[in-house]
Structure 1
Amino acid sequence: MSIIELIIFLVLYIVLPFVGFAKLFEKAGQPGWQGYIPVYNAYVIIKLTGKPKWWIVLMLIPAINILAIIGLTIDLLKSFGKFSLRDWAAGIILPFIYLIKWGNDKETKYLGPSQTQEFREKHSKQLKKSSAREWTEAIVFAVLAATIIRTFFIEAYVIPTGSMESSLLVGDYLFVSKMNYGPRLPMTPLSFPFAQNTMPLINTKSYSDIIKLPYYRLPGFNDVKKGDVVVFNYPMQSDSPWNRPVDKQDNYIKRCQGAPGDTLSIVNAQVYINGKAMPNPPQGQPSYLVHTDGNALNPQLLTDLHITLVNQSSPSDYEMLMTRQSAATLKGYSNVKSVTESIQPKGTFDRNIFPSDPTLPWSVDNYGPIIIPKTGMTIKLDKSNFLVYRRVIEVYENNKLELKDNDIVINGKKATSYTFKQNYYWMMGDNRHNSEDSRFWGFVPEDHIVGKALFIWMSTDSAGSFLNSIRWSRLFKGIH
């Protein structure tokens, strides 16, 4: 959102509604200036509508105050004789038009505090609701309440792929906390409730980008820490053919391996941060080469040990994904001759690995070192790191970046250094050999962070049937 668009938004939804409040206050015998003071104008509305005075506390609680403002606005409109659902929608969605209109309308008069018994008895005919209207209001309120809870507090999420196995399984249903890292305010507020980016069934856009708000995050309990299981928006859709806004990009879930300012490297599948080896996920599934005597492995054994067959190159040679505990168990079977962890040799160049530069012969098992950007950090820019930080500077931080001959040019000016505007993170799946993560597409910007995975509330296995499809042992299991 440009500065001009931001100013227009603030004028429409902050300044002009306050003008309307001031006009309505004057009709109710209150000084008009009270309508221009945030929070205090809510106190005046509470007084004019007859609401309990403790409602002012709700105005100070993030997210809850949105519902409180909607409720107070509706009660204020009732006090001025606006009893229809259409009037309420107009006053909430287009306050910059209708509050001012009613404030200047001679026929609109203050009828008294709408939340008193006397008011209800006097205007019982206008306040009487049909069954259809009661259902409509209940549904609208439920959608609003659920949307606010989903946006600011907690959201359900399902594991769609095996990139986090065996820590998290396909079919695990999680609750993701928005409060831990601070709720991120919607950047595209005009969207269909509960749809991430496409409408169910009809598969069209579920949002409008007419209004785009800048990134802002409310205070949280803590920052993203190494080892946290984090849900974030997939950053590669920022400039993809979809070109989706940040908060409408697909949700991914990975474990944070590197924090802002860290130097990360991977040596023979072991992650190092600032030269120190990091703990490996206890339920991670590396790739193993299994050699047998030629006799087939029992399929039930593979199921019991949660082993995934990747490839069978001969009757006696397999590539499999499994935990280290499962590998140790498998070695004990008489027809298994060897179980060896499969690691790509150092110096192997994988074109699919970020930043796809032959001068950086990196792979999933041997990578880096690479410095993770941090807000305010300044780095020297040259050809050796141009491709590493190009996407950050150009896409995530909205600069025009060019390489002209031997010079790096940012926004038309030659640059030898760059200072980062936000924090970045390095995310990896626990299933290291079956995970598309930061090794493939680089850094995750702070404004893409959605929340922290807390616990599994339901888990289903598609291979099971009816009650047998529920993984009972995983219900309400915490995520570590």
Structure 2
Amino acid sequence: MDIATYTAFCLTAGPLTILMVIGLWKLFEKAGRPGWESLIPVYNVYIILKISGRPWWLLLLLLIPGINIIIGVGVAVDFIKSYGKFKISQNAAIILLPFICLPKWGFDKNTRYLGPSATISFHEKHRKDLQKSTTREWAEAVIFAVVAATLIRSLFIEAYTIPTPSMESSLLVGDFLFVSKINYGARLPITPVAFPFAHHTMPIIGGKAYWNGIKLPYFRLPGLGDIKKGDVVVFNFPMDADSPFYRPVDKRENYIKRCQGTPGDTLSLLNAKVYVNDEAAITPSHGEMEYMVRNDGSSFNRQLARDLHLSDIQQFTNQDFMMNMTAQSAALLKQQAGIKSVRPNIRFNGVYDPEVFPHNPKFRWNVDNLGPIIIPKKGWTVKLDSLTLPIYRRAIEVYEQNKLQVNDNHISINGKPADSYTFKLNYYWMMGDNRHNSEDSRFWGFVPEDHIVGKALFVWMSWDAETHKIRWSRVMRMIK
């Protein structure tokens, strides 16, 4: 979090915190407790539990990331029930608007402390009056389910579907997988006001499923570990920051790729082979790429194509074809009768492709030959010149939100002359296993750490849209 963001956060959070403390002070006094107890962190939560009649050991659960949010909601609701606030609207208010309702009830002369067993005694005394209608029972059940599901998918695990072939044959179109939020630490919502279970677009009716009038600073809970090279990672598509979408970070499209480079690594591609820190990276065993195939002129065996999972078949002459396949499929295809040659379709080194990052003719790179390129690491300082600026400008301007200008080879950042820049975020290099059919970091560069969603764990179900059958061999399959 930069200084400007931190300052803005403090200016917003500070007054709201003061309002909540004032409200707690007055409510503590109504329960016969000294108001100053509301000023002491942790101890004030212990007093809230005591006032509510809840066990002290809930404090321990409040120390566990993720679980503390669920327990905290329950503690807050039980606390206001001790003051006779039983309505659904009041329960929602203490969660969504505590800085308003706490001081309001604290200064309200009609709000009285009913005791730690207020919930039970209230229901016993007014059971007939509180007889719930079927509508209310369903409403409460739906609200609970939505809140519980939202917390689970935000903090623990979420289901995703593979929509494109960019990870084939490691992951297939129609694979349903679970993505863990706790492996790298759950990212707390940056755009908190959104329609439940919709990502960025409203289902059926279309339009935005979120309101970007409120944006919170980036914060991630502690995780089980860091992203490692070779991990299959779900992240938000960085280019959605641009026109026509201009989406907030956590509402950008979800992508899934394999991490090839981590912060501080030097990465390059040579003849379609990835090298990290001058060492050859492990090639995904089920990854695909384009191959040129020549046969004896006979018609191509379509059953063989299905058996070997050959895809995107293009025919140029009666003998020459181009298609996607794995290295294993290529080896088997070479053994087939009538096949004269099978060779990878690799671009020549030094041939410039304008679609490849950083889209600058000074870098004669293409999808199979690229780099070397240093992946930015938090705290790393890069010298800014005509060679480094095309590579790192987007990270400095868009992802780290600086105003960068270049006038007659003079660089300024936020109005000040600059010949270097120190990064505030970690970055990653992501690539699809289907190397010639994947839109990835080779085309748009680095993935910032605040775009990371989670780690893909396993395929729980797989549906083949062509055969309309379940791929039973892939069900409950771990992702490697």
Q: TM-score surpassing 0.5? A: yes
Q: Is the 8 A contact 2:83 2:118 kept in 1?
A: no
2:209 to 198, 206, 209: 206
1:150 to 141, 149, 153: 153
- 2:94 matched to which residue of 1? 91
SS in 2 for 1:208: coil
Q: CA deviation at 1:4?
A: 5.7
Q: Is the 8 A contact 1:112 1:119 kept in 2?
A: no
SS in 1 for 2:464: coil
- The residue type equivalent to 1:478 in the other structure is M
- 1:392 matched to which residue of 2? 395
Q: CA deviation at 1:221?
A: 1.2
Residue 236 to residue 58, structure 1, CA distance change in 2 (3 Å): same
- 2:439 matched to which residue of 1? 436
- 2:416 matched to which residue of 1? 413
Moved more, 400-409 or 167-176: 400-409
Q: CA deviation at 1:88?
A: 2.1
Whether 1:445 aligns to 2:448 is yes
Q: Deviations over 1:308-345 (max 9, x none)?
A: 03421112111010001000111111111111111001
Q: CA deviation at 1:413?
A: 2.4
- 2:308 matched to which residue of 1? 305
Residue 4 to residue 72, structure 1, CA distance change in 2 (3 Å): same
2:317 to 308, 314, 317: 314
Q: How does 1:265-284 map to 2 (within 5 A)?
A: 265-284=268-287
Whether 1:238 aligns to 2:229 is no
Q: CA deviation at 1:193?
A: 1.5
Equivalents in 2 of 1:400, 1:100: separation in Å?
41
Q: Is the 8 A contact 1:19 1:36 kept in 2?
A: no
Q: Is the 8 A contact 2:81 2:118 kept in 1?
A: no
Q: Deviations over 1:194-250 (max 9, x none)?
A: 111111011111111121111111111111111110111100112332111101100
Whether 1:218 aligns to 2:209 is no
Q: Is the 8 A contact 1:17 1:95 kept in 2?
A: yes
Equivalents in 1 of 2:402, 2:134: separation in Å?
55
Residue 59 to residue 5, structure 1, CA distance change in 2 (3 Å): same
- 1:478 matched to which residue of 2? 478
Q: Is the 8 A contact 1:291 1:316 kept in 2?
A: yes
- The residue type equivalent to 2:91 in the other structure is W
SS in 1 for 2:246: coil
SS in 2 for 1:286: strand
SS in 1 for 2:165: coil
SS in 1 for 2:288: coil
Q: Deviations over 1:151-207 (max 9, x none)?
A: 111111111100000000001111111111111111111111111111101111111
Q: Is the 8 A contact 1:377 1:420 kept in 2?
A: yes
Equivalents in 2 of 1:124, 1:46: separation in Å?
25
Whether 1:82 aligns to 2:82 is no
Q: Is the 8 A contact 1:196 1:248 kept in 2?
A: yes
Q: CA deviation at 1:7?
A: 2.9
Q: Is the 8 A contact 2:259 2:430 kept in 1?
A: yes
- The residue type equivalent to 2:227 in the other structure is V
Residue 192 to residue 9, structure 1, CA distance change in 2 (3 Å): farther
Equivalents in 2 of 1:34, 1:239: separation in Å?
49
Residue 336 to residue 260, structure 1, CA distance change in 2 (3 Å): same
Q: CA deviation at 1:63?
A: 2.2
- 2:366 matched to which residue of 1? 363
- The residue type equivalent to 1:229 in the other structure is V
Q: Is the 8 A contact 1:188 1:245 kept in 2?
A: yes
Q: CA deviation at 1:59?
A: 1.7
Q: Deviations over 1:98-128 (max 9, x none)?
A: 2211111111111122367445423434544
TM-score (norm 2): 0.96
Residue 65 to residue 13, structure 1, CA distance change in 2 (3 Å): farther
SS in 2 for 1:460: strand
Q: How does 1:3-402 map to 2 (within 5 A)?
A: 3=6, 5-11=8-14, 13-114=16-117, 117-125=120-128, 127-402=130-405
Q: Deviations over 1:23-81 (max 9, x none)?
A: 11111111112223333323222222222333222222222222222222222222212
Moved more, 255-264 or 306-315: 306-315
TM-score (norm 1): 0.96
Q: CA deviation at 1:261?
A: 0.8
Q: Percent identity?
A: 59
Q: Deviations over 1:272-299 (max 9, x none)?
A: 1111111111101111000011111221
Equivalents in 2 of 1:173, 1:55: separation in Å?
36
Equivalents in 1 of 2:232, 2:344: separation in Å?
25
- The residue type equivalent to 1:381 in the other structure is L
Equivalents in 1 of 2:40, 2:62: separation in Å?
13
Residue 12 to residue 68, structure 1, CA distance change in 2 (3 Å): farther
Whether 1:403 aligns to 2:406 is yes
Q: Is the 8 A contact 2:350 2:369 kept in 1?
A: yes
SS in 1 for 2:167: coil
Q: Is the 8 A contact 1:114 1:120 kept in 2?
A: no
Equivalents in 2 of 1:83, 1:250: separation in Å?
40
Residue 12 to residue 460, structure 1, CA distance change in 2 (3 Å): farther
Q: Is the 8 A contact 2:187 2:221 kept in 1?
A: yes
SS in 2 for 1:322: strand
Q: CA deviation at 1:424?
A: 0.6
- The residue type equivalent to 2:441 in the other structure is S
